[in-house]
Chains A and B, each alone.
Chain A
Amino acid sequence: MTTTPLRMPATDARRTRSRGAERPSPVATAILLLGALYCLLPVLWVVTASTKNGAELFSTFTFSPSTHLWDNFIALTQYRNGLFWRWMLNTAIYAGVGALVSTFVSSLSGYVLAKFQFPGKGVVFTVLLMGVLVPGVILAIPQYFLLAQIGLTNTYWAVLLPQLISPYGIYLARIYAAAAVPTDVVEAGRTEGAGEFRIFLRLALPMMAPGLVTIFLFQFVAIWNNFMLPYIMLGDDHLFPITVGLSGLLNQGATVPALYTLVITGALLSIIPLIILFLVLQRFWKVDLAAGAVKA
């Protein structure tokens, strides 16, 4: 008897509250916009700074633009016969080819670990997963000495090969294969008499595709970001990726300040393709580390 009259105000209260909850909160929005401003500020700076010449860099206000963008661009392009563009190309090769091959290896391994039962599976997975925990940078030095013994240091291979194995990629691929590839489909493929590798290529791989984009992006960013490995492996600056190249240029800038404008213009040009790639593929960045799930 008491419940009936009490229900009405409760429903009313909910209605007003839920309306209240949807009322915009200026504080919440302001905090988010401040965060966005903090994250965009250095990008905004590099855009304006690359329009300044060497003198203006230190004399005019930080964010006031100038008119020398084209001059800086030409100077950078002409620097040692286009070395900068060579670095860009190298980066594309290291990160692009490396991430592509790595994603394929990861997806194949993840698929096998998710869909096959075989002796030693637990051990193989645990050992591979332990690789997630081994800091890549700690491996770089022994990798250098091992590759030096077969004469592969200071080549493209020295930077490409060690980054083809991605324990984290295998881990993600296993989760993705388990969730996205129904065992029935694999069984049906076998019934039709298809080979296991063919089943993987034709049936499993397309089903895993959205997750594979995420794995690709992860590895791409990881290789692009990896500074220590190429820094150690490469001596010839024609093989440098952009990160090592610009870092070296900054180092020389300590004695030749004219190089600073080149470094800044180079930094701007190098992040443009990444930011574009990033915005285009934004929806694939949905990562739940705890559940290990990639939700695409």
Chain B
Amino acid sequence: MTSPAVATSPRIAPSSASRRRATRVQRVAIPYTMLAPAIVLFVLFMAAPILYTVVLSFQTVRVSGLGLGAADKKLIFAGLDNYISALSDPQFVASVVRVLAYGAILIPVMLGLALVFALLLDSRRSRATKFSRVAIFLPYAVPAVISSLLWGFLYLPGISPVVYILNALHISAPNILEPNLVIFAIANIALWGGVGFNMIVIYTALRAIPSDIYEAARIDGATESQIAWRIKVPIILPSLIMTGLFSIIATLQVFSEPTTLRPLTNSLSTSWTPLMKVYRDAFIRNDIYSAAATSVVIALGTFALSFVFLRIVQRRAFGQEDS
């Protein structure tokens, strides 16, 4: 082994020459051997399940005769039938609309707060920044199930501090777990868990801005808030876009929070979100074929949104390496 200092010597020349002499086979075999664990895992646990879902989504079971014996059940090609029934299922449509509404409530509030907190952390006029940063980021360490559980109890009228205070003031408190409000209850749980992570992402981007840019602005008489909105926000815009896209992807997959809250309220149906419906169809109704079609629809919807993400990422990220 050699130290990094030796590495900068002109001895690179013979080594790259010897590399050129290496057989073509070796040049391909070595990287692929080293990539093998990732490729095998990817094929087994990502590619194969996706392929399997697609195959299932085009199949269905036709029951003939009395439908009692195994021989009476036949797997047949269903064409687009599963897709048509998935897309025309009012429960599915309702769950998609619900999740979109949930995202429309959650994402602007979460990213708005994350941006405000990050800018305040970065501002020279704020105090208690270290404590606030750790405290706001802390919920990210709490799994969604546990945070749903904590908030779920805090929502119960017998425990809720808000209800306690309102009752003390003789004001009748609304029950946040009732059907019309439960969407806010779940959005609050996701907000609690997510605002700190997004804040850290934005804050990291802010810290990367060279401070002489601000000095120039300050000499020109810009105030701290002008610097924040006119200089900092435009520079970190890509980070905001990324956090937005990741939030959209996460929103479409919401499952843990409503599933955990269900024992505490009657307001959440088993098809409250698209993924809850997929779970119910696959495991409670044993209809894996229509569950598969619904999964594909959700995945395609996610992909459509994520395509934008890939375009941004690939253009921005890999300028620094030798190609």
Residues on A facing B (Cβ under 8 Å): 10, 13-14, 17-18, 21-25, 28-29, 31-33, 35-40, 42-43, 45-46, 49, 57-59, 61-63, 105-106, 108-109, 111-114, 116, 118-119, 121, 124, 127-135, 137-139, 141-143, 145-146, 161-162, 164-165, 167, 170, 174-175, 178-179, 182-185, 187-192, 194, 196-197, 200, 202-203, 221, 224-225, 227-228, 231-232, 242-244, 246-247, 250-251, 253-254, 260, 263-264, 267, 270-271, 274-275, 277-279, 282, 285-293, 295
Contact = CB atoms under 8 A, between A and B. Distances in A.
A161 B44 CA distance: 10
Contacts of B236: 290
Given A106-B38, A129-B310, A137 B253 contact: yes
A-side interface mostly: helix
Interface stretch (B59-67, B142-150, B170-178): B142-150
Contacts of B239: 288-290
A174 B49 CA distance: 25
A189 B1 contact: yes
B16 A134 contact: no
**9 closest A-B pairs by CB:** A178-B321, A290-B238, A36-B135, A142-B49, A292-B317, A58-B158, A165-B41, A188-B7, A133-B306
B141 A114 contact: no
Contacts of B125: 21-25, 28
Nearest to B237: A290
B7 A184 contact: yes
Given A128-B38, A142-B49, A145-B52, A295 B161 contact: no
Nearest to A101: B37
7 contacts: A28-B125, A142-B295, A187-B15, A188-B4, A188-B6, A271-B146, A290-B312
B109 interface: no
* Residue in B142, B249, B320 whose Cβ sees the most chain A Cβ within 10 Å: B142
A189 B260 contact: no
